[in-house]
Chains A and B, each alone.
Chain A
Amino acid sequence: MTPKQEKKLLRLLKQRDESAFRKVVTLYQHKVFNLVFRMLGDEQEAEDVAQEVFVSVFKSIDSFRGESKFSTWLYRIATNHARNRIKYLARRKNRQKDSLQDVEEGALNNPIGSRPVAPDRVLMGRELERVMQHAIASLEEEHRTLIVLREIEHLSYAEIGEITGLAAGTVKSRLFRARLQLKTIVSQYLAGERVETASQPADGKRRKPQ
């Protein structure tokens, strides 16, 4: 979309034009959904949050002054909503931890951890995705935001700075820590799964160590 087209679209949005609203949702729904899904790791939560994002966009469109790109502003709203949901889910999980000391707690904390590693290559790809999604979900909320924006949404440091309100240097240093945390989680997770898979295969048969 050219700047001129974007300007026209925003003007119509501010006039509460429904066709402009539909166009914006159509244009950005998948980007927003993908972003919040990667931050939350749950499709239903992602759908709820993505809806909230667009509702917020149209409620607060009058406050958008065009000082940044519309997509940047939209991403800022999306990441804020996703971060708020992460905090809310964390609080809820803590309450569940306090009240429920049952066996399923492990599954809540690590929804993919108990799944067996698939032996064939196709499922290895899916397994790898699950591992990565789990690793992202295990990151601290700010690190998660930065990793998703940088590594999944492929945004520049400057854009990430605009979205998060952090200076570019701060973005880089915190991304460094986020990657470090990610590396640790992935390493631990893969190591843990190898052990689990080798000792307790899902089908009950022993597999040769890889």
Chain B
Amino acid sequence: MTLDPQQGFEVLFEAYLKGELEGETREAFELELFTLYLDEELEDADRARFEDHLENHEDTRLDFERHRETMAAMRGLDMKFAPDDFLQDVTQTINKQSRGSFFTDSWLFGVRIPFEAFVAVMLAVMGALYLFGTHMRASEPNELVEVEMPADSSLASHEEPPRLDTQGQSMGAELESTTLYLTQEAELAALVTELRGLELHVRPQISSLGDALLVEVPVERAEAFLDAIAEHHHQPAMTPQQLFDEAVQNVITVRLIIASP
């Protein structure tokens, strides 16, 4: 009898138990039977009949035991573990193949930002900042000038004018001062020209705290200085903080230095 799937298991099983299967057919069906038995897929009745058959047929029992041992050996093979540095090796491989661009840091709620997009955005931001700065310089007519000067206009009569050190910092009593604003860049230039016309020493000071004009005013010329300043005095439309926020880079401080005679 040949092993034909269309014949159905029951027919073949009957033939097998009766010893009617021979040769390759018998061997093939027997293997399937062994597998079904070990996989516990035989019906209870068939299982009992097969176990009964095994008890009474030593050759079949030996074949079955050999098959069971083989499959047990297969299933009992030791688990082979990946090497200890496997994770590191895989990570390195991925980084190498992607030239370090595969993994991204978790940012913006974990949304992946492709490197190319990030570069494009950064270039756009830098370009916008450049254009904004150019526009501000072109459109803003004012060079904001902050002038610190004594509130007391009778400075000329100051009894003990403070002395100056070589860095232009006032020495001695601190002067009470008020803040005025010169808003026109042209006015600043005119002021500088005028102050120099008064033979006042004007020099720029550039520092991380901000640019400044240092004006050395001898006591006897303080009145003339104040008159010159008054011509360039404008009340600001904005508060100093607003001015600062609007144009940090454009604020120039003029510091009044009272020089002793």
Contacts and interface: CB of A to CB of B under 8 A. Distances in A.
Interface stretch (B10-18, B69-77, B248-256): B69-77
B80 A151 contact: no
A179 B112 contact: no
Interface residues of B, number: 34
A43 B28 CA distance: 34
Interface residues on A, range: 35 or more
Interface stretch (B101-109, B130-138, B237-245): B101-109
A50 B79 contact: no
A12 B102 contact: no
A13 B94 CA distance: 14
A34 B81 contact: yes
A100 to B, nearest CB: 30
Nearest to A46: B80
Contacts of A34: 79-81
A7 interface: no
A21 B86 contact: no
B97 A55 contact: yes
A37 to B, nearest CB: 4
Nearest to B89: A51
A160 interface: no
Contacts of B27: 180
A159 to B, nearest CB: 14
Name B's interface SS.
Answer: helix
A136 B103 CA distance: 38
A151 B86 contact: no
A129 B74 CA distance: 8
Nearest to B24: A180
A160 to B, nearest CB: 13
B110 A147 contact: no
A55 B93 contact: yes
B33 to A, nearest CB: 11
Interface string A141-175: 00000010001101000000000000000000100
Contacts of B80: 30, 33-34, 37-38, 43, 46
B28 A15 contact: no
Nearest to B111: A15
Interface string A13-32: 00111100110011001101
A55 B104 CA distance: 16
Contacts of A38: 77, 80
B71 A18 contact: no
A74 interface: no
Q: Which 6 A-B pairs have the closest CB atoms?
A: A33-B82, A18-B103, A29-B82, A37-B80, A151-B74, A15-B112
Interface of A: 12, 15-18, 21-22, 25-26, 29-30, 32-34, 37-38, 43, 46-47, 50-51, 54-55, 58, 128-129, 131-133, 136, 147, 151-152, 154, 173, 176, 179-180, 182-183, 186
12 contacts: A15-B104, A15-B111, A15-B112, A17-B106, A22-B91, A32-B82, A47-B89, A55-B94, A151-B71, A152-B74, A152-B75, A183-B67
